[in-house]
Structure 1
Amino acid sequence: WYFLCSRRRNLLRNPRAQEKFKHWKLDCNGGDKWKVEELPGTHGNSFPSPAVRKYFVTSYDLCLKSQIIDLKKEGYWEELMDKHRPDIVVSDWYAARFDCGCRYQLKVQLLSADYLVLNEFCPEPVIIDQWSDAEWKEMSHTFRNYKPGVRYILFKHGGQDTQFWAGWYGIRVTNSSITIGPGTSA
């Protein structure tokens, strides 16, 4: 328990766009492609935490980016993951522009050593209408009592605008996280 508490940290690298797209794989880079912008951005709102200063933004065609976390490389050995199966907490923040509708999607998969899907969190895409409040919202999930054998975690998110406007009018994402430990909640 002490080990898990002391090791609790965000396993995603560059979750706040501070290093542009470093550590992210751009799976789909449609329209005018992914872009990094400063908060609050055009027709946007400030983030709830002043520590977050940038976000990733999508375009008019599908934009998805991902990271795969190798749990062994992060210090979570097989016996720990198989016997104790500590909570795996996922969090992602998203927002729209006030003046354009958009679509947000998230998929997180717990994978075996052979990259087989053991468990998945894949909520229905969120559609935000034009003239929304442009407030930042959190999508979160806690994996509990999952199957033994989890060795990797795939995190993939993104979306696009729903009006097909050239430029960067799609969903904005930032402050994504994956943490492992006891007694966490989301």
Structure 2
Amino acid sequence: MNWLFGHFQSIKTATLPSCVYRDVLIRVDDETLKNCRRVCQSFKEIIDSQSFWIERAQICNLEHCLPPREWLNSQKTLSQQELDLIGGEAKFNIKNMVLSRKGYSKFRPYEIHRNENIQFHKNKYNLRVREGGDGICVEPNDVGCEPDDSVDACFAFSYRLSTIGNFVDLEAIGIDGWVLDYVRPKIRISMSVCHRNDCAAEVLLSAELNYQKRQIKHRENEDGLIQQRANEPRRMSVHRSWDQWTEANWEKMSLEMTDYPSGLRHLYVSVIGVDNQFWKGYFGPKIANMEIEVVLPDEVRLLPFKEDEAKDEADTRPYRETPPNRHGIFAVPFRNRRRLGEL
């Protein structure tokens, strides 16, 4: 792209048809493309067009991130009354789908790197990690269990309750607000789970939809035990436990969110695990291959807006999580602390 910027002052955009610039822009990397958008108005118009991003998805082999063709053409299928519900236009944010590499594809919010620790994963993927006992470690796929070719490495839990949570901004990955409000597609979450055959263990996979970034509606038990709550419109969970000396084969664990209220934009997925024999080390459940997928219905249709009967004051203000206190340390508000010698 250097030649394009270097000679841009000497080339009038009118001297070349826009399709020439389009053919160049559609093949540059994402970061360069963001800079190109600032060059001139004609570049901005090319890059902001939906057809540009559809073609870019085809060139970059990212068509799996896009909605099915029936939904891309839903402007022609939906009635005028239905279109009025969503502001008159069934427009998809193809740009965010392509840039995030997620959209309507099955994607992994994080990968497990065999030679790194949990702190590395927390920082790299912005995970919410709460560790008990000896914490959470990264292991190969065959420690105390049968190996599986689909699992390269896994997280293994310890003898006290530990949590791994990840946040997904659904609009940021290309799922439009009108889709979440009036289509309410299925949200599928799955992962591979296993345990050591010599130790009893249990794991809880939960997902909840929220209004605020990094908001958490339900928290872990303070008593260190896994609590199985009844499923609610905004929250789903599935539980799995194993007895000692049972077969330790990798298996799938999944849940599906469907009948949720309108207005929700943020997804929080958490995994809580613990071994049930209180053994020092990493004898708890093992998890790997977390996957999330937003699935549009086969039939193009809209639903009435669904109010959230459980919405409360906490849903209406920006969310800020208070970190847990360290054992033996008194939590003193910062504004009340004084240096020695001060009155």
Instruction: Give TM-score scaled by structure 1 length.
Output: 0.84
Q: State the 1:12 CA deviation.
A: 3.9
C-alpha contact 2:274 2:284 (8 A) present in aligned 1: yes
Name the CA distance, whole Å, in 2 between partners of 1:135 and 1:33: 23
Out of 70, 91, 94, which is 2:190 matched to?
91
Match of residue 173 from structure 1: 287
C-alpha contact 2:216 2:268 (8 A) present in aligned 1: no
Q: How many residues align?
A: 179
Q: State the 1:26 CA deviation.
A: 4.2
Q: Cα–Cα, structure 1 residues 180 and 126, in superposed 2: closer, same or farther, change >3 Å?
A: same
Deviations 1:71-124 (A, max 9, x none): 11111121121122111111122111011111111111011247486511123x
Q: State the 1:137 CA deviation.
A: 2.2
Name the CA distance, whole Å, in 2 between partners of 1:5 and 1:112: 27
Name the CA distance, whole Å, in 2 between partners of 1:164 and 1:174: 22
Out of 160, 169, 178, which is 1:61 matched to?
160
Q: State the 1:146 CA deviation.
A: 2.2
Match of residue 164 from structure 1: 278
Which range is displaced more, 159-168 or 113-122?
113-122
Match of residue 122 from structure 1: 237
Q: Identify, as 1 or 2, the structure richer in helix.
A: 2
Out of 98, 108, 130, which is 2:207 matched to?
108
Q: State the 1:132 CA deviation.
A: 1.3
Q: Cα–Cα, structure 1 residues 78 and 183, in superposed 2: closer, same or farther, change >3 Å?
A: closer
Q: Which amino acid aligns with 1:60?
A: Y
Gaps of at least 5 residues in structure 1 are none
Q: State the 1:172 CA deviation.
A: 0.2
Name the CA distance, whole Å, in 1 between partners of 2:188 and 2:251: 16
Name the CA distance, whole Å, in 2 between partners of 1:53 and 1:116: 30
Q: Cα–Cα, structure 1 residues 24 and 5, in superposed 2: closer, same or farther, change >3 Å?
A: farther
Report sequence identity in percent.
Answer: 25
Q: State the 1:4 CA deviation.
A: 2.3
Of structures 1 and 2, the one scoring higher in RCO (CA 8 A, sep 6+) is 1
Q: Identify, as 1 or 2, the structure richer in strand.
A: 1
Give the number of the structure whose alpha-carbon radius of gyration is greater.
2
Deviations 1:35-59 (A, max 9, x none): 0011122x21122xx2420000001
Q: Cα–Cα, structure 1 residues 34 and 24, in superposed 2: closer, same or farther, change >3 Å?
A: farther
For the residue of structure 2 that corresponds to 1:4, the secondary structure is coil
Q: Cα–Cα, structure 1 residues 171 and 178, in superposed 2: closer, same or farther, change >3 Å?
A: same
C-alpha contact 2:193 2:252 (8 A) present in aligned 1: yes
